[in-house]
Amino acid sequence: MKIKFTKMQAFGNDYVYISTLDQKLENLNELAKFVSDHHFGIGSDGMVLICPSEVADFRMRIFNPDGTEAEMCGNAIRSVGKYVYDHHLTTKEDLTIETLGGIQQLHLFIENGIAVNIRADIGMPRMDATIVPVNTDLPEFFNQPVHILDRDFLITALSWGNPHIATFVDHVDDFDVHCYGDALEHHTSLFPNKTNVTFVEFVDKDNLKIREWERGTGETIGCGTGCCTAAVTAIRLGLCNRKITVMQIGGPLIVEWDEQTGHVFMTGPSHTVFESEIDPDYRRL
Contacts of residue 174, Cβ cutoff 8 Å, sequence gap at least 6: none
The catalytic position among 51, 223, 228, 240 is 223
> The domain 3-123+269-284 belongs to what CATH superfamily?
Diaminopimelate Epimerase; Chain A, domain 1 (3.10.310.10)
31-60 in b/e burial notation, b at 16+ Cβ within 10 A? bbbbbbeeebbeebbbbbbbeeeeebbbbb
**Average pLDDT by consecutive 10-residue portion of the chain (285 residues)?**
89 89 88 77 76 97 88 91 97 96 94 96 90 89 94 94 92 96 93 92 98 87 92 96 95 93 94 86 60
Residue 163: predicted pLDDT: 87
pTM of the model: 0.90
Q: How far is CA 53 from the centre of its chain?
A: 21
Domain extent listing, the chain = 3-123+269-284, 144-261
**Catalytic residue at 223?**
yes
Answer yes or no: same fold for 3-123+269-284 and 144-261: yes
Q: Does domain 144-261 have CATH number 3.40.50.2300?
A: no
Q: What pLDDT does residue 285 have?
A: 46
